[in-house]
Structure 1
Amino acid sequence: MTERRVMAAPRTRSADISPTSWNAESRTIEVVWTTGARGARFDWESFETVDEELDTRSTAVRLDRLNAGAPVLDTHRRSGLANQIGAVVPGSARMQNGQGVATVRLSDRPDIASIVSDIASGIIRNLSVGYMVHVYEIERAPGQRPLYRAVDWEPFEISFVPVPFDAQAQVRDAPESSPCILRPHPVQEYSSMSHTRHNTLGISRTADGQQPATEPAPITNDPVSLARIREYVMAASEGAYAQLTREDCNGIILDIAERGMNEHEMRETLLGILASRQRAATSPAGGGPREIVDRWGSGSATYENPNFHARAIEDALYARMSGRAPTDQARAFMHMSLVQIAGQIAERAGVRGVNSMAPGDVLNAAAWNRTRGFDNGAYRGGGYHTASDFPDLLTGAGQRFLMDMFAAAESPLKLIGRRRNARDFREISGLELSGFGTLSEVLETGEIKSGTFKSRKETYQVKTFAKMFALSRQAIINDDLGAFGDPIRVMARAAGETEASLLASFINNNPAMSDSNPLFNAEHGNLAGTGAAPSVATLSDGRLAMRSQKDLDGVTPIAAAPKYILSSPSYETAIEQLIATQLSANQVDEANPFAGKLTPLVDPRLDALPWYLFADPVNAPVLEYAYLEGHEGPRVEMKEGWDTLGTSFRVYMDFGAGLVDWRGAYKNPGAVVG
């Protein structure tokens, strides 16, 4: 590895104070602002987890800025003079016994008197130092994480914080990055590729943005070796939000190897997987508070943390749309108008004069009218959007509300179906097993007999269903969140109706299977000869028919016991009375053997008279449905308007369903009840 230059963002480290050193007369206190402790962090430059260690020798630390009276801030806030609560006493910063020590003087301004009082009494005792790294010395050893030792670094501010940043945190509101030299450790250089990762993603730029003289190894179109794939995947699995299990990693490794990807394709695939994991983390299928994870993965629970602030705003928007109780962190935003929220976001992004802006300009300043296509807030090729862009937070809250409403609108017919995920839009089939009725005995030195696998003839595919609606600029300015929430509610019901109608059509239409016979047919042994209302006798006939079904070999019983009884609302009361009837000790002949054994399902889309029995779809599936992998349920995305002043939202769903077998179901044509 040769020396190279990159752009490194400022970082922060936790530190500590000594409350007993408080001098009330001079308003000074002694602080220990670093111990140089080693800590792990994920390095997106090299796409790997590394250990960072600060060299605490006096020759490695540039103390000029601290000794010139560096600012002491409230939680790293550098957006205004009001956030400076003190300064380092000039000349007091020094390295002593492996620690960075300094004396800080706190302001006597009345507006921060309570903060100073809490510091003096020891209630506030957490610090975090902001620093720049100019030179990293990189040490690599087999079987260990790379060690990035900062041998030339410069502290530039000290902050009092409620929750200290850990060694992995980075200051995301820093004004600029600074050049940083990456230098191999002079005595730790391993030539084996298996022991080093030379800029795995190939991202390296000098201070002027140009590629350095030493380029990464060229990328070829040759398939990547299995060892190289494993190295990439395991590095990705250590990311802050990857959450890749060993099973996940093995599946990804095999998939990349089987598809013969080159290095570029492999990188794009892994970035797509990580982006998908991030979307899953930031847009759960439910109403709980979401954990927003950004590029740096910081999690300090204060409003100064952009993640925490963004999560609180989204929770408030979601609570207002859904009518749910807000989370504790969201309460601060519950009574703010949408324009006020957008204004706060713009101020945090460094926009000046927000208070004097017209409402429409505030929305523009909060990135409302960014030029982009439909957006779901995920990773895009141009880089990461800030976690607190107002449109993204509104879309995130809308996605949560959409999934709430969709869950409420789901059809009970999904209970009788088996769910699976589809990787693409190609036809979905499956495997049928023949000759596996029992295992055959193997005699000494005998041959093991083979069963047969063949593709199932019944197929279906995932299709895309979508609609759009618009949110006007006037609605946002008027704080009309209902103009967004109401269409979301309607779209959720439409998505649920799309699924339910498709599933009901298979039952009502009784389509032909691959053997040319309808789903419910005498040839299949799953259709009653005479229609009748549900009763102990007719249920018994249905159960017997299902128990009598044979596997593909025509011999092995599948014993498909009924679990669900399905009907239109016509039989709802009669079925509830039937399955609720309990056994009477003195009326054994009139006992109901089905009491409590069947789950009633009612769907108004079904034809009025027929009723059905279905087995557990895990054991004997009849109906199967699928979502596109990574897109389970409906999704909401947004696009800025250009011809009109407003925003377009679209809700889409990738869903498909089909019949896969007939053996786990039974139909009775029914009859009019009394």
Structure 2
Amino acid sequence: MPLDLQIRAAMRPKSLNREARTVEAILSTGADVDRGGFIERLEISGRAIDLSELPVPVLDTHRRESTRDILGSLTAARVEGGLLIGTLTISKRHEALLDDIEEGTLRCISVGYTINAFRDEADRATGRLVRIATGWTLKEASFVPIPADAGATVRSDTVSTQTSQTAQAPAPVQTTEAAPALTRAQVNTEIRALRQTFGLPEAFANDLIDREATVEQARAAAVEAVRQRPTNSISTHTPAYAATGATPETFARAAGEALYCRANPSVTPSEAAREFMGLSVIELGRTILGRAGVLTTGMSPSAIVERMLTTSDFPAIMGDTVDRSLRAGYQAAPSALKAVARKSTARDFRRKTKLQISEAPTLEKVNEAGEFKHGALHDAKESYAIGTFGKIISVTRQLLVNDDVGAFTDMSAKWGEAAADFEAQQLVDLLEAGSGAGPVMDDGKTLFHTDHGNIAAAAAKINVTSLGEARLMMRKQKSIAGRPINVRPRYLVVPPELEVDAEQVLALIQPTTIEDVNPFGGKLELLVETRLSSATRWYLVSDPAITEGLEYSYLQGEEGPQIETKQGFEVDGMAFKVRLDFGAAFLEHRGWFRNIGQ
């Protein structure tokens, strides 16, 4: 039956230095920890432990949600007498913890680590699987209420053990064989591992090997060398986005950017994303599960994918990656009509009404003792509503296990292109509604109508004469009140079939006679819209910033396609919903002119 809970009362820590805010602690004894399916045991040796990431954070009960959980840092560690011993430095903002450490209230330590190599063997007594970590990296240390390793505590002057009356002392370990003596080659290997672990010069190891020092002598020499090392040689840098310290938002953003940059090598990652650039999807999954406190040692790639799909971090990371790819594709897809339209937003999905107010009435002379006359403002209105459009994209578990990052970034980029193409086609369909006459306006007439004065009297190809007639008609447009407003054309919109003709007409040339002067050279901007269905129709358009015409809108705060993520149920993987809230309408006819061409 399990032992009753044992309580160890510690005296004042002898290693506590209040002025320096430091205390020594036993980080690990390598004690067995039951992981459910197996017993885990850490090898405590200079060869097994990777201390290259020191200094690492000292946390509150392994919490990593915010910087408030960081109590200090673990600045140094060493292997001594089969124990991993470290020096903890408490931060100034948590200086009150020193009182709890001094009185023995705060003493239990637990370490966070990743396992790089292990070997399995069977326990002789129970037959259970024992997994021995023969290579592991120290990532953090935490103050905890009850440690998994009962011997991991703040180092004290003396330690007394009290147990409840029903507690039973554990049986002594039976040893039947003496450990085999190390060969000289094995001792030398251990010495070199000590040198590497503690970052000591190569001469340190060479000297010990030349003197044929024992492993115990080498450990003692390494401890002494670390103690004499200058304080300023200890780095206090902790990566801003290390898995132990990053908030969920910053972690997801940095890791999502790293996945996107892996699939798009031409994109330069930010400093935060560089930390995750070398990670595969599976390695990233181990980091995610480690943040959630899940041990991944011995877990298969498929199992890692299944577990990380249930976390909150991974959907956020994938959502960030897909969003970046989607937007890159969305922005890369060209739309000529967007350049001649005005962008707006809609608060909701109700019809949006846009009023057009005429210019102020003309001022009239007021005679002496005469009265001021009332003027009137004329108005017109157009209205439209935005709609919701979307699709669902699925990323399968097999794709994630295969680490095929490029597949889902390429797929999401194509969805971005599809969203941009959808918007562009909506604008073209609106322009070509009514067999090319355009949509019906609020006055009951189509966009292009004789009464609107914006269609050519006769069909003509693009040339100086037809452009001159079109410009003249736009210049003679009148306001709602019937006054000239002098609309100035800026864009020539054509289908690809008329691109060469348009370029010739708009080309800048050096004339030798007055007759050779090109009045439109450099005056108009050419826009080619490949989606136009007619090979002959062309349009002259004014600047939308000056004269209202075509307008498109997104739902307020959600410009362009939006991404939502969820763990797939119908699909074994993840599902991404692409949603677009979009609408468009012509608010004015005066800024547009059409010629059906020949």
Do Structure 1 and Structure 2 share a fold, with TM-score over 0.5?
yes
Contact 1:413 1:504 in 2 (8 A): yes
* Aligned-residue offset at 1:120: 2.9
Q: 1:426 to 1:410 in 2, by over 3 A?
A: farther
Contact 1:351 1:365 in 2 (8 A): no
CA deviation string 1:386-438 (max 9, x = no partner): xxx11210111101110110111141111111110001011111122135255
CA deviation string 1:17-53 (max 9, x = no partner): 99xxxxxxxx99997942x6xxxxxxxxxxxxxxxxx
Choose from 5, 11, 16 the match for 2:68: 11
Choose from 393, 401, 406 the match for 1:469: 393
Contact 1:433 1:451 in 2 (8 A): no
Q: Which runs of structure 2 are paired with 1:343-492 in the superposition (5 Å)?
A: 343-352=286-295, 354-366=296-308, 368-369=309-310, 385=312, 389-434=313-358, 436-438=360-362, 449=374, 451-452=376-377, 454=379, 456-492=380-416
Q: Secondary structure at the match of 2:304?
A: helix
* Aligned-residue offset at 1:15: 8.8
Contact 1:66 1:90 in 2 (8 A): no
RMSD: 4.0
Structure 2 residue 469 is matched with structure 1 residue 529: no
> Hey, what does 2:276 align to over in structure 1?
333
Measure, in 2, the Cα distance between the counterparts of 1:301 and 1:498. 38
Measure, in 2, the Cα distance between the counterparts of 1:70 and 1:613. 79
Contact 1:536 1:594 in 2 (8 A): yes
Choose from 109, 112, 120 the match for 2:230: 120
Structure 2 residue 266 is matched with structure 1 residue 324: yes
Choose from 64, 84, 101 the match for 1:65: 101
Q: Secondary structure at the match of 2:318?
A: helix
Aligned AA (1:459): S
> Hey, what does 1:605 align to over in structure 2?
531
Contact 2:555 2:582 in 1 (8 A): yes
Measure, in 2, the Cα distance between the counterparts of 1:30 and 1:647. 42
Measure, in 1, the Cα distance between the counterparts of 2:89 and 2:241. 23
Q: Which runs of structure 2 are paired with 1:30-429 in the superposition (5 Å)?
A: 33-34=91-92, 63-65=99-101, 68=104, 78=112, 82-83=138-139, 113-114=198-199, 120-124=230-234, 126=236, 161-162=237-238, 300=240, 302=242, 304-307=244-247, 308-327=250-269, 328-352=271-295, 354-366=296-308, 368-369=309-310, 385=312, 389-429=313-353
Q: Which shows bigger deviation, 478-487 or 300-309?
A: 300-309
Measure, in 1, the Cα distance between the counterparts of 2:527 and 2:456. 20
Q: Secondary structure at the match of 2:458?
A: coil
Contact 2:440 2:446 in 1 (8 A): yes
Q: 1:526 to 1:117 in 2, by over 3 A?
A: farther
Q: 1:618 to 1:84 in 2, by over 3 A?
A: closer
Contact 2:508 2:518 in 1 (8 A): yes
Q: Secondary structure at the match of 1:432?
A: strand
Q: 1:344 to 1:162 in 2, by over 3 A?
A: closer
Measure, in 1, the Cα distance between the counterparts of 2:524 and 2:72. 63
CA deviation string 1:264-318 (max 9, x = no partner): xxxxxxxxxxxxxxxxxxxxxxxxxxxxxxxxxxxx4655432454333211211
Q: Secondary structure at the match of 1:356?
A: coil
Measure, in 2, the Cα distance between the counterparts of 1:445 and 1:68. 98
CA deviation string 1:435-478 (max 9, x = no partner): 52556789999769565475x43211100111123221111111
* Aligned-residue offset at 1:482: 3.7
Aligned AA (1:63): D
Q: 1:89 to 1:465 in 2, by over 3 A?
A: same
> Hey, what does 1:546 align to over in structure 2?
474
Choose from 509, 515, 520 the match for 1:594: 520
Q: Which runs of 5+ in 2 are unaligned?
A: 1-64, 76-84, 115-136, 142-151, 158-192, 201-225
* Aligned-residue offset at 1:616: 0.6
Q: 1:654 to 1:14 in 2, by over 3 A?
A: same
CA deviation string 1:126-175 (max 9, x = no partner): 5xxxxxxxxxxxxxxxxxxxxxxxxxxxxxxxxxx447xxxxxxxxxxxx
* Aligned-residue offset at 1:68: 4.7
Contact 1:611 1:670 in 2 (8 A): yes
Aligned AA (2:316): D
Contact 2:361 2:376 in 1 (8 A): no
Matched residue pairs, number? 425
Aligned AA (1:500): A
> Hey, what does 1:505 align to over in structure 2?
429
> Hey, what does 1:102 align to over in structure 2?
none
Q: Secondary structure at the match of 2:353?
A: coil
Q: Secondary structure at the match of 2:409?
A: helix
Q: Which runs of 5+ in 1 are unaligned?
A: 1-7, 19-26, 37-53, 92-107, 127-160, 164-299, 371-384
Measure, in 2, the Cα distance between the counterparts of 1:433 and 1:604. 35
> Hey, what does 2:494 align to over in structure 1?
567
> Hey, what does 1:131 align to over in structure 2?
none
Q: 1:12 to 1:487 in 2, by over 3 A?
A: closer
Measure, in 2, the Cα distance between the counterparts of 1:318 and 1:447. 68
Measure, in 2, the Cα distance between the counterparts of 1:118 and 1:567. 79
Contact 1:546 1:666 in 2 (8 A): yes
Measure, in 1, the Cα distance between the counterparts of 2:410 and 2:346. 31
Measure, in 2, the Cα distance between the counterparts of 1:491 and 1:350. 35
Contact 1:527 1:668 in 2 (8 A): yes
Contact 1:535 1:578 in 2 (8 A): yes
Measure, in 2, the Cα distance between the counterparts of 1:578 and 1:439. 42
Measure, in 1, the Cα distance between the counterparts of 2:420 and 2:285. 33
Contact 2:476 2:486 in 1 (8 A): yes
Measure, in 2, the Cα distance between the counterparts of 1:318 and 1:62. 44
Measure, in 1, the Cα distance between the counterparts of 2:268 and 2:229. 32
Q: 1:528 to 1:320 in 2, by over 3 A?
A: same
Q: Which shows bigger deviation, 308-317 or 531-540?
A: 308-317
Q: Which runs of structure 2 are paired with 1:610-629 in the superposition (5 Å)?
A: 610-629=537-556
Measure, in 2, the Cα distance between the counterparts of 1:111 and 1:67. 37
* Aligned-residue offset at 1:602: 0.7
Contact 1:69 1:88 in 2 (8 A): no
Measure, in 1, the Cα distance between the counterparts of 2:369 and 2:256. 68
CA deviation string 1:231-261 (max 9, x = no partner): xxxxxxxxxxxxxxxxxxxxxxxxxxxxxxx
* Aligned-residue offset at 1:341: 1.1
Q: 1:460 to 1:66 in 2, by over 3 A?
A: farther
Measure, in 2, the Cα distance between the counterparts of 1:434 and 1:114. 80
Q: Which shows bigger deviation, 331-340 or 79-88?
A: 79-88
Contact 1:429 1:458 in 2 (8 A): yes
Q: Secondary structure at the match of 1:122?
A: helix
> Hey, what does 1:147 align to over in structure 2?
none
Contact 1:526 1:666 in 2 (8 A): yes
Q: Secondary structure at the match of 2:444?
A: coil
